[in-house]
Amino acid sequence: MEGMSEMHHTMSHMHDVSSSGIVGQALGFAGRLSAELLIVLTSAPVLHVLAALVLLLAIAALLRLLLAGRSSQA
């Protein structure tokens, strides 16, 4: 009986360790990924290229407005 209790204790301890291990690993992975994503999105090369892209799209939007204005006049 004592052996059974000891085994049950060991098994439940193993279960606790494995479940918290998986959850811990998942949380750790998500945390690391979020941090790395933040570093990438706020890094100088990415911000430079995104700024250039926003400028290009602003020019396209301006051209669209100009073209629409010209076609409505004609």
Closer to other proteins by CB, 14 or 38: give it.
Answer: 38
Nearer to other proteins, 14 or 46 (CB): 46
CB of 17 to other proteins, least distance (A): 27
Residue 70: CB minimum distance to other proteins, A: 14
Taking Cα atoms as reference points, which of 28, 30, 32 lies closest to residue 20? 28
Question: Rg of the Cα trace of the chain?
Answer: 29
Whose Cβ is closer to other proteins: residue 7's or residue 63's? 63
Could you give the CA distance from residue 10 to residue 49 in angstroms, rounded to a whole number?
55
> Two tokens at 16?
């606790």
List of residues contacting other proteins (CB under 8 A): 32-33, 36-37, 39-40, 42-53, 56-57, 60-61, 63-64, 67
